[in-house]
Amino acid sequence: MSKPLSRSETSSPRHPNPNARSYWQANLRVVGMLLTIWFIVAYGISILFIEQFNTIKIGSVGLGFWFAQQGSIFVFVGLVWIYAVAMDVIDRKFHKGERS
Amino acid sequence: MNHAAPLLLAIVDPALPWTWTFVGISFVLYLYIGWRSRVTDTEGFYVAGKGVPAIANGAATAADWMSAASFIGMAGLISFSGSDGCVYLMGWTGGYVLLALLLAPYLRKFGHYTVPDFIGQRYYSETARIVAAICAILISVTYVGGQMRGVGLVFARFLEIDLNYGVIIGMAIVGFFSVLGGMKGITWTQVAQYGVLIVAFMVPSIAISTMLTGQPVPQIGFVASDISEKLNAVLLELGEREYTQPFSKFSRLNVFCITAALMFGTAGLPHVIVRFYTVKDVRAARYSAVWAILFIAVLYTTAPALGMFARYNLIKNLHGAKIEELQQVTETGEKMPFPLYSLTSPDGKPLDWAMRWQRTGLLQIDDLDHDGLISLELRDVTPASPSSKPARRSELGKIDQDIIVLSTPEVAGLPPWVIALVAVGGLAAALSTASGLLLVISSSLAHDLYVRYYAPHATEMQRVTIGRVAIIFGIVVAGYFGIHPPGFVGEVVSFAFGLAAASFFPAIFLGIFFKRANRTGAVTGMIVGMVTTMCYIVMCTTDKVFPQFFTSPIISPDHWWFGISPQGIGTVGMLLNFAVTIVVSLTTPPPPKEIMELIESVRTPN
Does A55 or B334 have the greater pLDDT score? A55
> What is the distance between the alpha carbons of residues B256 and A44, in angstroms, rounded to a whole number?
10
Can you tell me whether residue B335 is helix, strand or coil? strand
- Whole-angstrom Cα distance, residue B428 to residue B416? 19
Euclidean distance between CA atoms A23 and A93, whole angstroms = 9
Whether residues A96 and B605 touch (CB distance < 8 A) is answered with: yes
Q: What is the dihedral of CA B584, B589, B595, B596, to 10 degrees?
A: 100
Q: What is the maximum alpha-carbon separation in chain A? A: 60
Nearest to B86 among A46, A54, A91 (CB): A46
Could you give the ipTM of this predicted complex? 0.86
Separation CA B513–CA B168 (nearest Å): 44
The shortest CB-CB distance from B283 to any of A12, A46, A98 is to A98
Encode pLDDT of B581-601 as tens digits. 999 999 999 999 999 999 998
The string of DSSP codes covering B125-175 is -HHHHHHHHHHHHHHHHHHHHHHHHHHHHHHHHHTT--HHHHHHHHHHHHH
- Distance from the Cα of A18 to chain B's closest Cα (Å) equals 12
Looking at residue B544, its amino acid is: K
Show residues of chain A in contact with B297, CB under 8 Å: 73-74, 76-77
CA–CA gap between residue B36 and residue B33 (Å, rounded)? 5
Q: Could you write out the DSSP letters of every residue in B32-70? A: HHHHHT---SHHHHHHGGG---HHHHHHHHHHHHS-HII
Q: Please check whether residue B533 is in contact with residue B569, taking contact to mean a CB–CB distance below 8 angstroms.
A: yes
Q: Which residue among B93, B219, B604 sits closest to A76, beta carbon to beta carbon? A: B93
B242 contact A CB<8A: no
Q: Which of B90, B101, B252 sits opposite A83 (nearest CB)?
A: B101
Q: Which of B223, B177, B496, B105 is nearest to A91 (CA)?
A: B105
A62 phi and psi angles, rounded to 5 deg: -70, 150
Q: How confident is the model at residue A68 (pLDDT cuts 50, 70, 90)?
A: very high
Residue B49: strand pairing partners: none
H or E element at residue B315: helix B282-318
Q: Which residues of B touch A58 (CB under 8 A)?
A: 223
Per-residue confidence (pLDDT) for residue B12, from 0 to 100: 62
pTM above 0.90, yes or no: no
Q: Which of A43, A73, A80 sits opposite B300 (nearest CB)?
A: A73
Q: Do A42 and B516 touch (CB under 8 A)?
A: no
Distances (CA, A) of A92 to A19, A33, A98: 13, 20, 9
What is the rounded distance in angstroms from the CA atom of residue B370 to the CA atom of residue A44? 49
What CA–CA distance (Å, rounded) separates B315 from B231? Answer: 9
Q: Cβ–Cβ of A42/B513 closer than 8 Å?
A: no
- With an 8 Å Cβ cutoff, is B219 touching chain A? yes
Nearest residue to B511 (alpha-carbon basis) of B412, B600, B390 = B600
Contact yes or no for B477/B390 (Cβ under 8 A)? no
User: Out of A16, A42, A73, whose CB is closest to B301?
Assistant: A73
pLDDT recorded at residue B511: 94
CB B312 within 8 A of CB B244: no
DSSP 8-state secondary structure symbol assigned to residue B373: B
Strands (E), B233-285: none
Q: What are phi and psi of B461, to 5 degrees?
A: -60, -45
Which of B323, B39, B335 shows the shortest CA–CA distance to B189? B39
**pLDDT attached to residue B184:** 56
Helix (H) or strand (E) holding B80: helix B75-81
Query: Touching check for B281 and chain A: CB below 8 Å?
Result: yes
Distance CA A25, CA A7 (A): 9
Residues of chain B with pLDDT below 50 are 1-10, 49
pLDDT at B592: 93
The kind and range of the H/E element at B198 are: helix B183-213
Q: Encode A1-31: b = buried (16+ Cβ within 10 Å), e = exposed.
A: eeeeeeeeebbeeeeeeeebbebbebbbebb
The Cβ-side half-sphere exposure at B577, using a 13 Å CA radius, reads 31
pLDDT band at A53 (very low <50, low <70, confident <90, very high): very high
User: Does the structure show a pLDDT above 70 at A16?
Assistant: no
Alpha carbon distance B515, B509 (integer Å)? 10
Residues from chain B contacting residue A74 (CB–CB below 8 Å): 297, 301
- Do the chains contact at B259 and A84, CB–CB below 8 Å? no
Q: What's the confidence (pLDDT) of residue B46? A: 54
Q: How far apart are CA B158 and CA B156, in angstroms?
A: 6
Assess contact for B549 and B537: CB atoms under 8 A: no
pLDDT in tens, B359-398: 777 788 888 877 888 888 887 776 666 555 556 778 877 7
CB of A53 less than 8 A from some CB of B: no
Q: Are B82 and B242 in contact (CB under 8 A)?
A: yes
pLDDT tens by residue, B533-575 = 999 988 888 777 777 777 777 777 777 878 888 889 999 999 9
CA distances from B443 to B70, B111, B138, B182, B459 (A): 25, 15, 13, 10, 15
CA separation for the pair B183, B172 (Å, rounded): 19
Residue A67 main-chain phi, psi, to 5 deg: -65, -40
pLDDT tens by residue, B255-278: 999 999 999 998 888 878 877 877
Element (H, E) at B342: strand B341-344
Please give the average per-residue pLDDT across A8-16, as a whole number: 45
Candidates A14, A61, A75, partner chain B, best to mutate (most B CBs within 10 A): A61
For residues B381 and B401, the answer to whether their CB atoms sit within 8 Å is no
Q: Is A72 in contact with B94 (Cβ distance < 8 A)?
A: yes
**Confidence at residue B393, expressed as pLDDT on a 0 to 100 scale:** 75
Residues B545, B537: Cα–Cα separation, whole Å: 11
Cβ atoms A57, B120 nearer than 8 A: no
Angle B282-318/B54-65 helices, nearest 10 degrees? 40
Residue A2: list chain B partners with CB under 8 A: 516, 586, 590
Q: What is the pLDDT of residues B79-106, one digit of tens each?
A: 988 899 999 999 989 998 999 999 988 9
Closest residue in chain A to residue B515, using alpha carbons only: A10
pLDDT at B123: 94
The pLDDT value given to residue A100: 38
Tell me the chain B residues in contact with residue A59 when contact means C-beta distances shorter than 8 Å: 222-225
Cα gap A56→B230, rounded to integer Å: 19
B303, amino acid identity: A
